[in-house]
A = this chain, B = another copy of it.
Amino acid sequence: MQFNAVLDQLKLYEAGKPIELVVREYGIEAKDVIKLASNENPRGCSLKVIEAVREEASKMNLYPDDSMYELKGALATKFGVHDENVIIGSGSDQVIEFAIHAKSNPSSKVLMAGITFAMYEIYTLQTGGKVLKTASAQHDLAQMLELYKANKDVAIIILCIPNNPLGECVDTKDVYAFLDEISPETLVIIDGAYQEYASFKDSAKKIIPSDIIAKYPNTLYTGTFSKAYGLGGMRCGYGIAQPEVIKALLKLRAPFNITNLTLKAAIVALSDESFVEASVRENFEQMKAYEAFAKELGFEIIESYTNFIVFTFDKDKKSAEIAQKLMEKGIIVRNLGSYGMNAIRVTIGTPEQNARFFESFKTLYM
């Protein structure tokens, strides 16, 4: 059967391997598998959230409040905006999907960094749109601006601040200067999935959604409960933008796009920011151990403003092989081979998980 031609060029996103797969394929017990591949919060989530979700579990037969009144209200309060500035997605990537599908088409282009979140490209290709990437792997706003000016048909620019999967982060003042040069007709998506981490490490990286959408009505800020809030499994993210943008995106949102347990989890998570603070603080304490480890072993790293770190290897080591051997020992990391890099991305885990990573890695490669 014939399907739409745009599907032909689409590749599938390769998700981080789940623990269940390692259990199945390598016969390792689930309790002995460490997953440092998907930038999940190793501390879990707030205990208040777990309690609330357990209580809500008796209502799984009921559809969620599709207006998401309470969650939108809580997010609007947190960010100092109004309900009509907020859209909820099944992960912030769904909000990004809506935005790309709403604006990109076969005669437009979507501009992004050389190496950035893989779904941006997939969502663009789904619309028949073309992808423009900077030669630089990391975000280089000067290069991006040059490409933008050289191409008249850029409908969307996506900035990942800080960038997944590399970890680097542009300065907010440079983002503002960049936005000054962009047409109000170009949608600029600012993916802030790891903003809690970046803004903790360096306030010069902090994006304030209310400020950026007021100054630049062509921006869409996206955030998530999947990382610092520790709710990756619950699929909840949000977009903050001017009502004109939100309204367009809402037209592509199917009803009940998050579960009722997710709705409850997100609402309660917002009432326990102390969990987030503790998670982010511990993340950077633990990251020091990774930096020291890389120095000791002589691997290069990319300075990270996130909850993961990238080790890049010389030609004598192969990232695919390293990732595979670690997996056979029950440690799942992300090989960045599919991004064209000889590198692995490792999520900062708990102290115990990190110690096991260091030990296994040393045994394999020293």
Contact = CB atoms under 8 A, between A and B. Distances in A.
Interface stretch (A36-44, A144-152, A292-300): A36-44
Q: Size class of A's contact patch?
A: 35 or more
A254 B93 contact: yes
A50 B55 CA distance: 10
A65 B7 contact: no
Majority-rule SS of A interface residues: loop
B60 A57 contact: no
A57 B233 CA distance: 10
A191 to B, nearest CB: 14
- State the oligomeric state as a number of copies: 2
Contact of A256 (B35, B61, B91, B101): B91
Given A256-B235, A259-B259, A1 B218 contact: yes
Nearest to A127: B4
Given A63-B232, A231-B61, A257-B90, A251 B12 contact: yes
A72 to B, nearest CB: 12
A24 B94 contact: no
Given A21-B69, A38-B63, A53-B60, 5 more contacts: A12-B250, A24-B69, A44-B61, A50-B60, A234-B261
13 contacts: A18-B64, A24-B69, A44-B59, A45-B61, A54-B54, A57-B57, A59-B233, A60-B231, A60-B233, A61-B231, A94-B254, A126-B252, A235-B256
